[in-house]
Structure 1
């Protein structure tokens, strides 16, 4: 069986960081209230109230993609698939992926498209490109980007949601790896009540039932990890890393306790990025690489969950 191998990683975040104390200046909240309930201390945002930067989702996606391509040490003409996972594209069309392909100088026979699965988007994107790569020549690579600008859909008067999210992008260059273990899980349950945002050409903002999402997320992660182990025959004890969507520290801590795995197997960086939706997993992978925690030969279970409802996981190897 062919596995999925990550050979290059990149990231991009807005320049300006906003602390919990910054939010307390215009909301009835505090650093203690936010950090104890979520683990989040700061997040990067393109826009908030009167602060409007020139940064956007497309720009972040391009920067992260270029860095991943450089890190992979392959030529742009080797990329045959370009997928951008996003719920907050800069344009309804053209897709972010098409414009990323242009900026990177990818060949015109590269298939490029956006994928919308909210916070599960990067996981879904990896699974889709794995199947697509199996239909291409052996020397074809794929670029998968998670890029979000949630600041443009947040209601900054709603303290229960606006403090949770951040903007950012993460990217991975991937290829097939012969004779390697592989497993991919994806689930969908239609729901427009607990986590929803209006579509194109309206001014609707994000709504979330935090308690319902919390209960869903705990069950979703545990279910996905169990299914990944059953499908791959690769136990949690044998895996090097478990990288969950970075939504809430309490969610991940619950899974650490329930799986009885070492805490250092679960990387977390939501304290300084918040919930960056489809960007959170690749952002985490890039930081793991930068810190020397992700090394050649490592295998990781990546797990996502989010609006849709969607949830899923995938087993990947690194270089």
Structure 2
């Protein structure tokens, strides 16, 4: 799907990371294994939620920064992108709506989407701003705590994921073009999955049974399974064509785009993509300090490196779980950014 919007923009992005910082060099694996995986993923440190904290207080801290300059009652819609919601039901969006005391005629809903989720969330927010005359200001929350659903003894995931939460203030604008391309290939959904926990395969005692796979990774059906080779192949095969679609839609080229803000999947993959497309000097990376924070990795990257990411022609691209992918080219030159640590 290719979409062009002309009346929506991002005014502010605030990202909050947990206050618990861990080093991958301290994980309980042998030194040879640690050095090999850290070199491949590029992840040296990460921020993860402690056992007594959910994403909710991080969302609230992030939005309080936005409310320093706008009236909460001016919010017309609230969207939450997450694959680690506060509850199975109700939606995290409705929980936040109630806590923040927003007006009753404001929309509130969740989007269950992972690595491409920020792009999908922006598209939904921009569509509402473009087409609904009564909607002028939207809060797009984005958060994931993949550390909570990963097996700490699984080498393929234990070193990779960090947690974070963000809020993006989207507003109606008279003249602000943005170009979206959204794609899916659900045939690869089994390559990044938590097998048990939904109604297709409910949790049971066997879900928590740990076993070793052919690579010596400890896995269970209640935690995240990732086929790294297949995810890599999908990414390097599909992302270049995704960007070509953006170039065609926007009448731009890779040379005319200021910056490419990619989902921070892993360092080897990001370097491979940048080299393949000849954009190594325009592809900022911060996965070494924060890990792969799923859908929130893009707003985290922008908040962490605004001087590199916020330009008139910034291209954002997410890809991964579900074999979902999305990209957007938009103007971030006037976007305010903030990066904070969670304060209890």
Long gaps (5+) in structure 2: 208-221, 335-344
Question: Aligned pair in 2 of structure 1 residues 303, 77: CA closer, same or farther (>3 Å)?
Answer: same
Q: Distance in 1 between matches of 2:96 and 2:268?
A: 35
State the partner residue of 1:19: 23
Pairing 1:298–2:296 present: no
State the partner residue of 2:211: none
In the TM superposition, what whole-angstrom CA distance separates every residue of 1:289-316 from its partner, at most 9, and x where no partner exists?
A: 3xx3345x63311100121121111122
Q: Distance in 2 between matches of 1:141 and 1:199?
A: 35
State the partner residue of 2:161: 165
Q: Distance in 2 between matches of 1:286 and 1:312?
A: 20
Question: Aligned pair in 2 of structure 1 residues 9, 317: CA closer, same or farther (>3 Å)?
Answer: same
Alignment of 1:158-237 (within 5 A): 158-190=154-186, 191-197=188-194, 198-200=196-198, 202=203, 203=207, 204-237=222-255
Q: Distance in 2 between matches of 1:240 and 1:34?
A: 31
**Shift of residue 208, structure 1, vs aligned partner:** 0.5
State the partner residue of 1:63: 61
Max Rg structure = 2
Q: Does structure 1 retain, via aligned residues, the 8 Å contact 2:56–2:86? A: yes
Q: Distance in 2 between matches of 1:40 and 1:140?
A: 39
In the TM superposition, what whole-angstrom CA distance separates every residue of 1:145-189 from its partner, at most 9, and x where no partner exists?
A: 210111221111111112111111122111233333321111112
Q: Does structure 2 retain, via aligned residues, the 8 Å contact 1:117–1:306? A: no
Alignment TM-score, normalising by the size of structure 2: 0.83
**Shift of residue 80, structure 1, vs aligned partner:** 1.2
**Shift of residue 144, structure 1, vs aligned partner:** 1.2
In the TM superposition, what whole-angstrom CA distance separates every residue of 1:24-53 from its partner, at most 9, and x where no partner exists?
A: x25676442122101110111124xxxx2x
Structure 2 residue corresponding to 1:37, chosen from 19, 35, 40? 40
Q: What secondary structure does 2:36 align onto?
A: helix
Q: Does structure 2 retain, via aligned residues, the 8 Å contact 1:133–1:141? A: yes
**Shift of residue 262, structure 1, vs aligned partner:** 4.5
State the partner residue of 2:95: 99
Q: Distance in 2 between matches of 1:135 and 1:144?
A: 17
Pairing 1:243–2:243 present: no
**Aligned pair count?**
307
Pairing 1:270–2:267 present: no
Q: Which moved more, 1:277-286 or 1:181-190?
A: 181-190
Give me the CA root mean square deviation.
2.0
Question: Aligned pair in 2 of structure 1 residues 139, 110: CA closer, same or farther (>3 Å)?
Answer: closer
In the TM superposition, what whole-angstrom CA distance separates every residue of 1:210-267 from its partner, at most 9, and x where no partner exists?
A: 000011112232122111111111222222221110111112112221222252x212
Structure 2 residue corresponding to 1:10, chosen from 11, 14, 18? 14
Q: Does structure 1 retain, via aligned residues, the 8 Å contact 2:271–2:280? A: no
Alignment TM-score, normalising by the size of structure 1: 0.89
